Structure 1
C-alpha cells in the first residue's frame, strides 16, 4: 500500500446489541485483498436500519430479531468513498480516484437464481454491510472489486449516500407500483428520509402524489417538493375518507415508508380497485398487515415488498439525482454526531436524511 495511506483510522463500533456507539481512533486500516479496492469514506447517510440493527430489534424474514450479526460491528451502508488503492487482481476498468458507493449488499455469489435474475440483493449466499461486514462508519473500507458500485464522477458525494439505500429502495417501490402518468400515489411517511425520495420518484414517473405525514414542518417540506395534496394523519378525523375524497375513489398505489405498525394499519383501505400496496418501512418486531382476504380478492389488491434494489436499479436511481430530477434533502453533520443522530431517529423528528462527513476528500 502507498506510504500516504495511514495504518490506523477512526471508526464507530458497537460491541453488543442494544449497546452504545464507541469511537476508536486507533483501528487498523484494512489492506485490500485479492479483487478488493481500498476506499476512503467521504460521507455516509444514517439509516433507520442501522439503528434497529444496533438496538437488536431488526426483524428478519420470519419476523424474529436478526441475531447473525458480526460483533463488534461497524455499521453504515449509505457511504460514498474514493478509491485510493487497488488490491491484486482488480479489473483494468477500476481506477484509483474513482468515486464508489458503500451499499447494503457487500458481496454476492453471481450464480444463484436471484443473482442470475438481476435480483442479487436476495442472493442466497450474499453478505451485507448491515449485518455481516463492517460498513461506512469508518474512514477506510475494503470493497469487493467485482461488485463495486462505481458512481458517476460528477455527482456531489455529500448528497448521493442516501440514494444508495433509501433512494434505490424508494425508486424500486415506485417501480413496483407500475404507475401511469396522472394516477394517484399515496406516500405514508412522506417527510422522512425514505418518504421524501419516494415522493420525488413518484413525481418523476408522472404520478399525482398525496403525502401523508404529521406536523407543519413536514407539510411545508413535502409541499415544496411538489406534492399535489397533504394529509396530517394526527389532525384528520378520518384519514381513509380524506384519501378517497382527494383521489376520487382511492389511490392507485400506496407506498408505506414509515417503519411503524400504525403506518400499515389502514394503508390497504386507501386503495381503489386493483390498487397496489408497496411496503418499504420495516417495523421492529413481528408486525402484521391486517387486511381481510375478502377485501384483497374482491378489490383485486396486490401487495409487494421492496428490499433495496439491484445494482442496476441503484445506478438508475443515482442518475435521476445526477440529472437533478430528484433532489435528496440532506443535513451534513460531523462524523462523531452519530450517537445524537440515532437519538433523533428514535424520536422521529428528522425531515429528509442526515449525512455524516467522515473524512476529507483526497487532494
Structure 2
C-alpha cells in the first residue's frame, strides 16, 4: 500500500497564478491501437457559472480505456471531438465565473464521471441524476481529468473535506460512489452476505471497504495471492481464487455462505465467466448487480428464466453514483473507513499508467496519475 501522498500541485490559496497552457493526456487515435500522448493544451476559461480547477490528481479507470477503444454500445469519444479522457479528479478552485456563489478561491473540489446534469427532471429529483437524458459525461463528451486545469460547473462540483487528501478523493468520485450507489440500490441489510467479483480491482476493493462499513459480510473473488492478501486485509471474510484450476468458484461461495448462497453478487469484472457464474452463487431472493462493462456483444448477463421464477432472483445494473453517493463516500473516508489503494505516476507517465492498466498489470491496485 502506498503511504499518504502529498499533492502534486500546490493548493495554497495565495498561489493562484494561472498559466496560458498546461499539460494534458491527449488521444491521437482511437480504437484497438489508440495512442495517448502528453501535450501542452490551452487552459480553459470558466463561464459565468463555472469553476476553473487546478487538478492535483486524476484516476486512471478502465472506463477511460473503453472510451479510447470505443468498444461500448454508446456514442464515441471521437464523435464529440473530445481530446482528453479521465473522469475522477481532485484539486483546488483557482478561478470562478461571475455568477458563482458559495465557492471561493482555494476551495478543494472534485470532478465526477458526470460533468453536468439538468437537475430538473424526474431522474434528477429521484437521485438517479446520472441517468439524466441531458447528462454530460466527463472525459467522453467533454475533456476530462487527464489535464492539469479543467472547467467544472459550480452547481455539480463536489466539495472535498480537509481530512480527505486528493489521492483519496479522486477515486471516490467514480469507483467509490459507484459501489456506494450499487450497495444502496441493492437494498441489502447489515449481516447479509455479498460476493464481489473482481474484489481486488479498482472498483472492487472500494466495494469491499464500503460494504464492510455498512455491516455486510463479504466474499471476494479474484485471481492470485496478491489479490487474496489485499482482499483479506480490507475486510473480506473469505476469498476465492478463480485462477486456481483446482477451485470450483461457485462451490466455494456456497460453502462459505452456509450452503444458501449470497444475498447479492456484485459483478465488477467485465469477463463472461463472472457474469455466467453469478446466478449460481445466489440464494433464493438474491440479486445480481451488473457493474463491470465488457466489450459490446461479448457477454450476456442472466440465466434460464426458470431460475428467476423458481428462485425469485433478480438482475439489475447500476452506473456511477451522483452527488449524494459521492458525498457519503467522502464522509466514510473522512471517518477513516474507506481508503483507496493506488500507485502514483507523474502526468508525463500517463501513457505508461494507461498501458499498465490495459495489460492487467495492476496487482490488486488502482493506479493513479499525479498531475
Q: One fold, TM greater than 0.5?
A: yes
For residues 278-311 of structure 1, the C-alpha deviation after alignment (integer angstroms, 9 at most, x for no partner) is: 1111111122114011001111112121100120
> Cα–Cα, structure 1 residues 354 and 147, in superposed 2: closer, same or farther, change >3 Å?
same
Shift of 1:189: 0.4
CA RMSD after TM alignment: 1.6
Question: Structure 2: how far apart are the matches of 1:114 and 1:94?
Answer: 26
Residues 41-94 of structure 1: CA distance to partner in whole angstroms, max 9, x if unpaired? 10011000001111111333xxxx746742242111110010001111111x11
- Choose from 22, 26, 33 the match for 1:9: 22
Q: Does residue 56 of structure 2 align to residue 46 of structure 1?
A: no
Q: How many residues align?
A: 351
Matches within 5 A, 1:306-325: 306-325=318-337
Q: Indicate whether 1:23 and 2:38 are aligned.
A: yes
TM-score (norm 1): 0.93
Cα distance in 1 for partners of 2:337, 2:146 equals 29
Deviation at 1:268, TM superposition (A): 1.0
1:11–1:74 contact (8 Å) kept in structure 2? yes
**Cα distance in structure 2, aligned partners of 1:162 and 1:15:** 25
- 1:265 offset after TM fit, Å? 1.1
Note if contact 1:280-1:305 (Cα within 8 Å) is conserved in structure 2: yes
> 3-state SS of the aligned residue for 1:142?
strand
8 Å CA contact retained: 1:16, 1:72: no
Structure 1 residue 314: deviation in Å? 0.9
Runs of 4+ displaced beyond 6 Å: none
SS at match of 2:250: helix
> 1:173-213, CA deviations, whole angstroms, 9 ceiling, x for partnerless residues?
22222222222111100000001011111111111111110
Partners of 2:365 and 2:331 lie apart in 1 by: 19
Separation of aligned partners in 2, 1:283 and 1:161: 24
Q: Quick one: structure 1 residues 150 and 3, their matched pair in 2 at CA, closer, same or farther if it must change by over 3 Å?
A: closer
**Which consecutive residues of structure 1, in runs of 5 or more, have no partner in the other structure?**
359-363
For 1:260 and 1:335, the matched residues in 2 are separated by 30
The correspondence for 1:114, drawn from 108, 116, 123, is: 123
Residues 79-133 of structure 1: per-residue CA shift (max 9 Å, x gap) = 0010001111111x11111111111111111222211222111111111113111
1:82 matched to 2:92: yes
Whole-angstrom CA distance in 1 between matches of 2:157 and 2:111: 8
Point out where structure 2 has 5 or more consecutive residues left out of the alignment.
Answer: 1-14
Where does residue 156 of structure 1 map in the other structure?
Answer: 165
